[in-house]
With several copies, the nearest count.
Chain A
Amino acid sequence: MDNLISLWASSGLAQIQLGQLVMMAVGLTLLFLAISKGFEPLLLVPIGFGTILANIPGAGFDAAPVYDAFGHMESPGGLLYYIYSAGIETGLFPLVIFMGVGAMTDFGALLANPKTLLLGAAAQVGIFTTVLGAVTLSHFGILDFSIRDAASIGIIGGADGPTAIFVTSKLSPDLLGAIAVAAYSYMALVPIIQPPIMRALTTPAERQIKMEQLRPVSKAERIVFPLTLLVLVAMLLPDAAPLLGMFCFGNLMKECGVVNRLSDTTQNALINIVTIFLGLGVGSKMSAEKFLNPETMGILALGAVAFCIGTASGVLMAKLMNSMSTNKVNPLIGAAGVSAVPMAARVANKVGLEANPQNFLLMHAMGPNVAGVIGSAVAAGVMINLVSGM
């Protein structure tokens, strides 16, 4: 009879709290969005599943291990605890992902037209105005964000998942769940968020601008570029060195052509393994107390604002560049500067084709697209530096 009571007492039904139930529903919703709607499934399937696991009452997925006085393990920790403390708290998983992303990135379009780096810079305005928005909300007592929280929320506008996770895990680990979910959700929503803004800020004539064909790029340029970027980062912005260093390492492995087996593994087995565990680990931060509060609604709203401002800034920067140069760029590719690789570049191409069915912008948009990755990594570095000293 005692055993029956013990079984019942340990069952989920006896222990569950409303918050956990709601969070399970949140996890199921994320899975639904990922599977049925195609929202960044590579991350949102593990995050959604991790959310459910972390909220099973009594399962101990995020329990820390218990040691006795002599250092012997009395009870082991939960799977999600180990994943989070080994891979996310240390920053290792986002860095390994960034290495993999580097090994999958083609800088050809950027090298053929380096001016597009400016579009990738402009689109980061979304990050910093959102920081300002977050502190303003906090100043007026509407929501409660510290400057560290605000910086982490701003980085959603970088439209780059691993960068957002890296910054948030350093500055505001409690917001990790909400910020990661917002970042990946809005990246998936890029085809819905961006086109209206792009159309509102451009004339049909501008959208029809044909850009000259990109020059071919030599193998040597492709090899030297990641090293050039690395040295520049090392000299000027060491705070951005972890993210951009691993990014350049991955890209060098891909381009140098002599370590193809390492590059292949980085792009496949390694990034896949780390993606699974990164997602589960992020899910472990999706607890009711951290997610079910007004701040999360604020984060979602501010994240959307960040994407919109970033998109607008990129487009306006392209128009500014056109006003100062005879070599016109189609302002639509400015929107690709937010990153969200390669979705934002495809959106630019699609909106461009609507204006002129012969005008293929995809390759041109890849330049600002990868520039946006560099831009938000730089923004992440400067933010970690400044905020840590505040």
Chain B
Amino acid sequence: MDSILISQGLDLLLYGMGTVFTFLTLLVGVTSAMSALVNRVAPDEVEAMVSAPGQASALEPRLTHIIQAAIDQHRGRK
């Protein structure tokens, strides 16, 4: 029932939000700088946003191979 609690809460709000905003604002700048730097140093590797999951690409060659075999066989039988 003490007002210490309230003042601790206010402190948390003040320093907490201050830190969050300071850190993320800084991160905006640092990230932008990082992107600019990276894209100047290694400009060629830009790729589309669509990222293929690793497992799919590992499975596909085998799948493709099996399917091709099946289709070849099917064509051969005709």
Q: Report A's interface with B, CB cutoff 8 A.
A: 3-4, 7, 106, 108-112, 114-115, 117-118, 120-122, 124-125, 127-129, 131-132, 134-136, 138-141, 146-147, 150-151, 154, 214, 216-221, 224-225, 228-229, 232, 236-237, 257, 260, 263-264, 363, 371, 374-375, 378-379, 382-383, 386-387, 390
Contact = CB atoms under 8 A, between A and B. Distances in A.
Contact of B11 (A106, A375, A386): A386
Interface string B14-25: 111101110111
A154 B10 CA distance: 13
B11 A132 contact: no
A114 B32 contact: yes
Max chain A Cβ within 10 angstroms of own Cβ: one of B11, B20, B49: B20
Contacts of B19: 7, 237, 378-379, 382
B6 A136 contact: yes
Contacts of B55: 260, 264
Contact of B31 (A7, A114, A139, A257): A114
Given A108-B49, A221-B35, A237-B19, A150 B27 contact: no
A335 to B, nearest CB: 17
Which of B13, B19, B46 has the most chain A CB within a 10 Å cutoff? B19
A371 B32 CA distance: 14
Nearest to B7: A135
B38 A221 contact: yes
A218 B23 contact: no
B12 A131 contact: yes
Contacts of A138: 1, 5
Chain B residues touching A, majority SS: helix
B47 A135 contact: no
Given A120-B24, A147-B8, A264 B17 contact: no
B34 A386 contact: no
B45 interface: yes
Contacts of A129: 13
A388 B18 CA distance: 18
Given A219-B47, A221-B35, A379-B20, A374 B9 contact: no
Given A124-B20, A135-B5, A139-B3, A117 B49 contact: no
A41 to B, nearest CB: 13
A129 B14 CA distance: 10
Contacts of B61: none
Contacts of A147: 5, 8-9, 12
